[in-house]
Amino acid sequence: MKTIPLILMGCGGVGCHLLQHIVSCRSLHSSQGLCLNVLGVSDSKSLVVTEDSSNKGLDDKFLMELCRVKRDGGSLSKLGDLGDCRLFSHPELQERILELASQLGGKTGLVFVDCSASSNTVAVLKQVVDMGCCIVMANKKPLTSTMEDFEKLYAYPRRIRHESTVGAGLPVIASLNRIISSGDPVHRIIGSLSGTLGYVMSEVEDGKPLSQVVRAAKSLGYTEPDPREDLGGMDVARKALILARILGQRINMDTIQIESLYPKEMGPDVMSVEDFMNSGLPLLDKDIQERVEKAASNGNVLRYVCVIEGSRQSSLCEVGIQELPKNSPLGRLRGSDNVLEIYTRCYTSQPLVIQGAGAGNDTTAAGVLADIVDIQDLFP
């Protein structure tokens, strides 16, 4: 039986779904000669870790109780009977994580799984990768930090996986890496990488006002509590930056042209969420409707996409609304799916198209689990 010990950083929606997947897949993994050992789990304030990290991980019943506490809005410090576990808080938390990395990184191996939404994990990840540990990420922020941080994390490419940072469970990163490894130059990537904005743009295409569509999306749970976090395009820009850097472009976030669907005058520091939804958002209806009608008169549709072109020497990376042919893969997009078109020497007139659910805790967690299993050959 091959054992993969891991530490989970972040046990919110994605993290708890990952733990549930690990527990429910025990018999499947066992039949494959594989065992995933969860040695510790941390949230933003605490770390719970097994006392005997060399022999066993946290008990499955304990992991399910942990998920229940987190789903109820509690922190790890609210856990009751810890049994054979210990609880660490700041400032001991990071010290204990690095201690485990030092003990296991170069021996049996250790995987750090970042399912948080924090930029604070990058400091730990940079240290543990030097200790021989592997990294699996759903968190985009470490890879969209400085170019120096990105190169540090990618210093050992065999030990890093982050499929879920771009398209949840879709095989975007794996497909792109296979193309690059084959020597097939990538000329252009264009994609709708936000389920929220994909839904919004396909609905306004049907003649519905933007304000009505955004309200509906919010009530369906498609948007963040403040929809401007989606409408501003920053999440799409982070995904675009990751893809551009994989292609070899040495760029930072401030290099990317980002079109926000709302003006600065309606930003969070000026308007409350309630004011934006009730009085700000309706003011944007006319402009979007005119753009939709103009695109339709040309036989096209509007989609909110990222566009990445060029090479190391000359590059373009932008995020915003584009007018696209109605019969293209992106033009046919409906609902909250993600669609990515990759144009290369081999895929010139007919691009490689990747499409499917690109959001949701369950889908994202499944992608993370697949990444963990994918690095099993690095473990003794």
Output the pLDDT for position 311.
63
126, 239, 264, 286: the catalytic one is 239
What residue ranges define each of the domains in the chain, with the CATH number in brackets? 2-168+362-378 (3.40.50.720), 182-356 (3.30.360.10)
133 is in an annotated binding site: no
Of 148, 107, 152, 102, give the one whose Cα is nearest residue 125.
Answer: 152
80 is in an annotated binding site: no
239 among known catalytic residues: yes
73 is in an annotated binding site: no
What pLDDT score was predicted for residue 75?
Answer: 86
Question: Residue 38: what pLDDT?
Answer: 96
The reply, when asked if residue 13 is annotated as ligand binding, is yes
User: Binding site annotation covers 11?
Assistant: yes
Q: What is the chain's length? A: 380
Q: What is the pLDDT of residue 375?
A: 95
Q: What is the pTM of this model?
A: 0.93
Please indicate if the annotation marks 167 as binding a ligand: no
Is 306 known as a binding-site position?
no
3-state SS of the chain is: CEEEEEEEECCCHHHHHHHHHHHHCHHHHHHCCEEEEEEEEECCCEEEEECCCCCCCCCHHHHHHHHHHHHCCCCHHHCCCCCCEEEEECCHHHHHHHHHHHHHCCCCCCEEEECCCCCCHHHHHHHHHHCCCEEEECCCHHHHCCHHHHHHHCCCHHHEECCHHHHCCCCHHHHHHHHHHCCCCEEEEEEECCHHHHHHHHHHCCCCCHHHHHHHHHHCCCCCCCCHHHHCCHHHHHHHHHHHHHCCCCCCHHHCEECCCCCHHHCCCCCCHHHHHHHHHHHHHHHHHHHHHHHHHCCEEEEEEEEEEECCCCEEEEEEEEEEECCCCCCCCCCCEEEEEEEECCCCCCCEEEEEECCCHHHHHHHHHHHHHHCHHHCC
Nearest CA to 54 out of 113, 108, 111 is that of 108
pLDDT in tens, 253-280: 999 999 999 999 999 999 999 999 999 9
Q: Report the pLDDT value the prediction gives residue 244, as an integer from 0 to 100.
A: 96
Stretches where the chain sits below pLDDT 50 are none
* Residue 265 labelled as part of a binding site: no
Predicted local confidence at residue 98, as pLDDT: 87
| Residue 309 tokens, joined | 């072109």
Per residue in 19-50, pLDDT (tens digit) is 999 999 999 999 999 999 999 999 988 999 98
Q: What pLDDT sits at residue 110?
A: 93
